[in-house]
Structure 1
């Protein structure tokens, strides 16, 4: 079954089948920010069956005026606190933030396709 995703304005496509063998490169690596909105905080809290206040305290940190999901250290790298190495998946997949849902179709990568290909084996030229 074809899982090729295309998006207008991007010079590449994405083969979602690559996720099964990739080892979560989009969820691991260098430290970064995974920003969440108020609505996303509410959705993730509900999915985890946690009070919003408890969720924020345990899983988020504030960066200026935004909240970001915490990371955990793994060897020399970092990974999203919700990345599950055993299943090679996301523990909050059904409520994951927009930033995660839209990867690899970020404006940042429009002019950096070679950089993106190093991170994501599912990226293919059109």
Structure 2
């Protein structure tokens, strides 16, 4: 079974084996937005055993009309509130947002492959 993931319309592929050695660069680094929709909010809330209201108050902030997961500051970096430094992984992996599930295949990176390669060591040319 191949660990190389390809997606039509993208000029690169992704080697999923790189995740085990990566320092979670997609979950840490520069500040950004991790948007969640209503269904994802409900799913994550259920997974954490929280009411939607408690989850929203503790883990989300509003950016315009969208909700984004809060970040924590660690040294000179920002990290997703659900990044677990101990396991070097995601505490809500099973219910992570679509934005996280689809990384690194984002339209933004179609014309910024060099920038993506700096963030993700699993990106390889096709």
TM-score range, shorter chain: over 0.9
Is residue 113 from structure 1 mapped to residue 104 from structure 2 by the alignment?
no
Q: Which residue of 1 aligns with 2:50?
A: 50
TM-score by length of 1: 0.98
Equivalence for 1:22: 22
Question: What number of residue pairs does the alignment pair up?
Answer: 126
RMSD after superposition: 0.7
> What is the deviation of 1:2?
2.5
Unmatched segments (≥5 aa) in structure 1 = none
- The 3-state SS of whatever aligns with 2:114 is helix
Give 1:125 shift: 0.4
Q: Which runs of 5+ in 2 are unaligned?
A: none
Distance across 1 between alignment mates of 2:3 and 2:85: 23
Query: 2:6 maps to what in 1?
Result: 6
Cα distance in 2 for residues equivalent to 1:118 and 1:63: 27
C-alpha displacement of 1:121: 0.2
Once residues 3 and 87 of structure 1 are traced to their aligned partners in structure 2, the CA distance between those partners, rounded to angstroms, is: 21
Structure 1 moving runs of 4+ over 2 Å: none
